[in-house]
Amino acid sequence: MAKIAKKLEIKNKLGLHARAAAQLVQTVHQFSAEVKISKDDQVVDARSIMGLLTLAATQGSKVHVEAEGKDAEEALHAVEKLFEKRFYESE
């Protein structure tokens, strides 16, 4: 099984708040790969909105995203695009 990881920065003004976390969960659910996100030694399942919110990731925070499974590369690319597009928020 492929396992890949990348460090990403949260660029949107409100950070990883409820709407952004929901978009991340929705994106990850499109893939079979297991996706984990960590910040400051806290690791959460990217399919868990509550887990994501406990990271308290604000604008400028850097998180480590790890994907494992047959479509890990595609999953990580989709997550990276979401971060780059600031979770499709205006700021």
- Active-site positions? 17
- Give the closest residue to 5 by CA, choosing from 48, 64, 60: 64
CA–CA distance from 81 to each of 9, 10, 75 (Å)? 12, 12, 10
